[in-house]
Amino acid sequence: MRKTLFFLPVLILLMAGLALAAGNRQLMSEKMATQDLKRKLMESVIGFKVKSEGKFGLTEEPSLREDTKAAAVIKGIIVDKMIYDKEKDIALAFGHIELGTIINVLGELHRFKNVRVENFGFGTTSEAARPALMALRAAQINAYDELAQVMIGEKIYSASTAENFVLTKDVNRSKVCAAIFGAYIPDIDLRSPNRGWGWDESGNAFVKLEIDARKVHDILGNLLVYKGQNIIEVTGRGSPVDDLADPPAGSMIRNSGSKSKAMSLDVPLGQTPAQ
């Protein structure tokens, strides 16, 4: 009886140690990846509104603000594969949704049959990994803005003044506002040589987007008449740091490029986002 009482605390401590070793970091990172996947699928299927304002004059502080907004009730998303890099604490989810009847961002009813939309999502609780994933999201937002510029155009305001042959004032500003649905990232496969997302050798992220030009509307819901090719592709860019606000933080170390699967993910680490 005494031996049993002696081993019981030891067993409890051992179980507690195993629970501590397992932890909840992986669970939360995988949940974040799943939610990011759902967001990307929602933005692709239902659509989003994008607005941007830029200042690019030679005598004004350059800046670019891009805002997107999307909201919808969506169901039927399936997570096909979950990859977790334990060393970096980064989760990567791949999944899809089979389309049926949807109401897009403009309130239009669309019915689909035998149409599958695929996407991916990232998640992490690690401060070291967040800048790279934030850069990837920034690249996607930039790609949304680039699509709107190509399809709808941008409002440009310019004003310049020169005195005694010297430029004293130069204002160059842009505005974009649009609603888009049906944009998708081509070739999302992790090992594809033509993958539509990733990071370059400097650590900056890129996201390619394609869209059927016949599905683009202005912010008022008016269908745009576009006389170019039907499928348009743009590339968005994103940075893990804001060099315009802070001194450069140094080069980024990177060589670009259950359902859970352990795998080392080639995501650049080492820089921290600007506060």
Distance CA 116, CA 142 (A): 25
The DSSP secondary-structure symbol of 193 reads: T
Q: Is the pLDDT of residue 44 over 50?
A: yes
Is the CB of residue 79 less than 8 Å from the CB of residue 113?
no
Q: Where are the domains of the chain?
A: 24-262
pLDDT digits (tens, 9 = 90+) for 101-125: 777 776 777 777 778 899 999 999 9
pLDDT digits (tens, 9 = 90+) for 65-112: 999 998 888 889 999 999 999 999 999 999 999 988 777 776 777 777
High-pLDDT (> 90) share of the chain, %: 49
* Total residue count of the chain as it appears in this document: 275
Rounded alpha-carbon distances, angstroms, from residue 186 to 197, 207, 224:
9, 9, 23
Rounded alpha-carbon distances, angstroms, from residue 275 to 64, 83, 272:
17, 30, 9
pLDDT at 102: 77
